[in-house]
Amino acid sequence: MNAKCRVGAAAVILAIGVWGAGCKSAAPKGPQAAAPARPDPLSGYVGRTVIVRHVGDLPKALIKRAEIASARGECDVVAEVRQARFDAGAAVFTVHPVGRPRLASRGAHQERCGHDQEQVVVTVSGFDPAATTADLEGPLGQVLQTPEAYLKDHGVAFDLAAGKAPGEPTADHFVTTQPKRLLWIDTIRRDPSGKVSHEGEVDIEGVVGADGRIYDARLLTTINSEDEQRVRALLPFWRFDPGLRGGDRVPVKVKEHMVFRIYH
């Protein structure tokens, strides 16, 4: 092959290579990986126990964000959050009522609840669909409350942080001021058979710590083990003005009672 032929062949090979490279670059791209799903900003609410304000006797309740502060209703309940989801700017909670909050200043029959509900679905609408957990917690904290927020809403200040379980209670003759119960929970549950309706008092003995919470509780009234667990599960919601020895908060033994009600 003479020089001219060798040059021509090389040119052809180069052209084919360039054309092939061009074809490869023009090939369609494969499917792109989908962006990771956004975590639900309300997932942390599942499993919490909260005080549901105003709407505890409604099977379904719709509250607009702009109207939270002026929400009406007399039925407050303590409830376990079973489901929580954020959907298109609406916070949707499915809760299971387990008790009724009681305040020393308002008496045992403070609310005007209608029918007891085994499940309540609370929807709070009007949020930005892109809202974060931090954006939602403030407004929702007016509907699903902690004991401290509930007391504050009723003009009772309580700002003691939870402490360690106390040791031995203070001897009675050293106690200058007895603990005062501020908030407690009456337990409620539905009878599965739909036939039993009962209400009775349960006596409790325990120690109120310097943090205003009850510890080492012992039920003095005999009830079945499942109902006892229901009562015990709500004791962390109780709040007291602690007992005093002079000007110091000290652990003090107390005897209290609450109402256990079974509805059908």
- What digits encode the pLDDT tens for the residues 63-81? 999 999 898 888 999 999 9
Same domain, 149 and 189: no
Same domain, 135 and 210: no
Same domain, 69 and 149: yes
Same domain, 139 and 190: no
Same domain, 119 and 191: no
> Would you say residue 10 has pLDDT above 50?
no
| Interval 241-262: pLDDT, tens | 999 999 999 999 999 999 999 9
Domain around 109: 43-153
Q: What is the pTM of this model?
A: 0.84
Give the H or E element holding residue 16: helix 3-25
Strand partners, 81: 95
C-alpha distances in angstroms, 220 versus 127, 178, 205, 255?
A: 47, 20, 7, 9
Confirm whether 28 is domain-assigned.
no
Q: How far apart are CA 114 and CA 24, in angstroms?
A: 73
| Among 253, 247, 258, CA closest to 209 | 253
What single letter denotes the amino acid at residue 53? R
CB 127 within 8 A of CB 91: yes
Average pLDDT, whole number, for the chain? 89
- What pLDDT score was predicted for residue 170? 97
Same domain, 47 and 148: yes
Same domain, 178 and 244: yes
